């Protein structure tokens, strides 16, 4: 996946997660997404800025993925304990 493709995927995934988890309302998500998209448009030719922004969203998505994996592990452990009872 190219850097810009990864950035776009991470960017969208982060906003989708924040909206789905209720961290931001639909209205707030739309506004913040729009503002962030405008910042990307403004700085898209600044390699350093894009690299930093890409790394920022990659860390966010990695954290979301880790939390999701951990939640799945906990749920599986709980199901396993219940099955033993």
Q: 31-40 contacts: CB < 8 A, separation 24 or more?
A: 36/11, 40/11
Residue 83 pLDDT level (bands cut at 50, 70, 90): very high
Q: Percent of the chain beyond pLDDT 70?
A: 99
CB 68 within 8 A of CB 17: no
Q: What's the rounded Cα separation, in Å, for the pair 26 and 67?
A: 22
Picking from 15, 21, 18, the residue whose alpha carbon sits closest to that of residue 34 is: 15
Find the helix packing angle between 47-84 and 26-43, rounded to 10°.
140
What tens digit of pLDDT does each residue of 48-64 get?
999 999 999 999 999 99
What tens digit of pLDDT does each residue of 23-40 get?
889 899 889 888 988 988
């Amino acid at each position: 996946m190219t850097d810009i493709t990864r950035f776009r995927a991470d960017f969208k995934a982060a906003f989708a997660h924040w909206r789905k988890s209720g961290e931001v309302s639909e209205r707030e998500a739309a506004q913040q997404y729009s503002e962030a998209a405008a910042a990307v448009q403004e700085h898209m030719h600044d390699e350093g800025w894009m690299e930093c922004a890409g790394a920022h969203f990659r860390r966010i998505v990695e954290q979301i993925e880790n939390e999701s994996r951990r939640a799945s592990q906990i749920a599986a452990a709980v199901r396993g304990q219940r099955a033993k009872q």
